[in-house]
Amino acid sequence: MTERADSRSGRGGALPEIRLPVGTLAIGDLHVDVERPDVVEGFTRFLAAQHGRPCLIVLGDLFEYWIGKGQANSAGGTRCLAALSELAGSGTRILVVPGNRDFLLGASDARRGGFTLLADGFVGVAQDRSRTLVLHGDELCTRDTSYQRLRRVVRSGPVRWLARTLPTAASSAIAMRLREASTRAVARKPEASKRPQRDEALRRSSAANARTLLTGHVHEFRDDDRDGLRWLCVDAFGHAPLGPAAATAEEASASSRDAFELHLGGWRVRSSSRAGRPPGRTSRTDGPVNPEAMLVPAMTLIAIDGPSGVGKSTAARLLARRLDLFFLDTGAMYRAVARAVLERGADPHDEAACLEVTRGLHLAFEPDGTLLVDGEPAGPAIRTERVTRHVSPVSAHGSVRELVVARQREIAAEMARATGGAVAEGRDTTTVVFPNADLKVFLTASAMERARRRAAELGIPDEVGRILDDICRRDEHDSTRAHSPLRQADDAVRVETDGLTAEQVVERLAFLARSGPFDGADAGSPRSGGGTSSDAVRGRER
């Protein structure tokens, strides 16, 4: 799988740097034995539950052993690679750092599984630009000199070539013998020699300018913050032995610490079995139960912000439909005002005239999200190019915005009480209209990507250049206006949509909705600072 534009290899052998979105999950040491159907089944079920997650990191030893064709072409191996490919198809980026059991994973395996293979690890860059060095962890065991020598040999080009050319039966037989020999060798070594060394961890992290180190390998949980380095180590995936405090296997799994999840404030420990799943809510419909809606906390308000042409309305509408929530198109309300201003012959730059028009409008919504202007559906007339060009100057007037924002909050409160929650979108929805929303998302894409989408939507693909100029001008106007300028809220989850289909964007938003919040509060609990979702709908300060 080709590395995307947000990762790059540095000079002089520097590790690639890869942006890590909020919601990224890191797991390691899965040791999936492709010859065991029960293990393969459990692994594929886990992957199915991750659809829509923005990124999944595997910190090595994804497979119990992997020599080449023998594993890739087996029934279990084929099924695992297919499940990984399906996850990638949902929009999830999969980053695999090979371990000491599966270092012979190759480019053909990565293509079949839809994942990016990072042989020596990488540096992850979070939304707040903090840096995490991501390694398997065995390279830190520097006291085990014999292992380090062997590690260099078996990862060399000739050995990799030999593994690719071996017949299937031979590669499987060699894998079994290597596994048995490795188990005996590890058992004979002193415990101290097998431990990752902190001095090596500090050296490598400093070289990568990383304040956090994320590893696996030792099958032992660690969250150690000292000497200027936070060192995180996941327990072996799915490792949850029953103990006195765990009455059932499910309870033991829920208490395991075999995953880390990236939040706005940094990495938080998670269990792979319950990676961020909140308590469910009651369906608001009398018809068939929507299983996904049941996973979203009650009285949810989801606010989606972002620049012009990024697809906020489409994504919010589809998300609301998918989660059985009310869709509040705040941008459509400003479009309706702009259209009314133009129809009445008022000057879009005259604040007093625009305010007078706004006061004379009655804006409301049908339960299905249809905007009503003075009791009539707004329809496509509010989305013409002429209206689009004049929305920014009309919506920039402070008095107009205050009037419309007040109405937006009224509508959201009414609909949330009636339907159990709402999805609202607009260019200041997360910062001004609903600053206390349960989930705040800043949806974005490059200006060129947005221009292509808008041109396709309008059926004028040959006019991308002109539309690009319009979008750039509007971005400048929206981000520099005095009242409610476009900006990303500090606690909003940034979602980059370049290269994603509308379905993949919605998949990701649905994942964030059912798995959040990602602001440091525990899933299913009130957002930090107290208050309730009804407070969020009303937009009150807490």
Domain boundaries, the chain: 7-274, 295-517+531-538
- The pLDDT of residue 482: 72
Q: What are phi and psi of 81, to 5 degrees?
A: -65, -35
285-309 pLDDT tens trace: 344 445 455 445 544 789 999 988 8
User: What pLDDT is attached to residue 534?
Assistant: 39
Q: What pLDDT does residue 176 have?
A: 63
Q: Looking at residue 166, what is its pLDDT? A: 66
Which pLDDT belongs to residue 174?
63
Gap between the Cα atoms of 534 and 529, Å rounded: 14
The rounded distance, in Å, linking the Cα atoms of 296 and 285 is 14
Residue among 441, 183, 403, 470 nearest 301 (CA): 441
CATH topology of domain 7-274: Purple Acid Phosphatase; chain A, domain 2 (3.60.21)
Task: Give the pLDDT score at 345.
Answer: 95
Structure tokens at 455: 């041109």
Amino acid in the structure at residue 471: I
Tell me what pLDDT residue 104 has: 85
The whole-angstrom separation of Cα 86 and Cα 219 is 28
Residues of the binding site: 306-314
Write down the pTM of the prediction. Answer: 0.75
Common-topology check for domains 7-274 and 295-517+531-538 = no
The binding site for ATP comprises: 306-314
Residues in the chain: 542
Which H or E run includes 196? none
Closest C-alpha to 320, from 492, 494, 510: 510
Assess contact for 162 and 67: CB atoms under 8 A: no
139: DSSP letter: G
Question: How many helices (H) and strands (E) in the chain?
Answer: 18, 21
Residues of the chain with pLDDT under 50: 1-12, 240-254, 276-289, 291, 294-295, 298-299, 520-542
What is residue 81's predicted lDDT score, i.e. its pLDDT? 96
For position 247, what pLDDT does the model report? 40
For 245, the 3-state DSSP assignment is coil
Dihedral over alpha carbons 294, 296, 302, 305 (to 10 degrees): -100
CATH number, span 295-517+531-538: 3.40.50.300
DSSP string, 272-309: GGGSSPPP----S-SSS--TTGGGSPTTEEEEEE--TT
According to the model, what pLDDT value does residue 66 have?
A: 86
pLDDT at residue 133 in the model? 98
User: What is the reported pLDDT for 536?
Assistant: 46
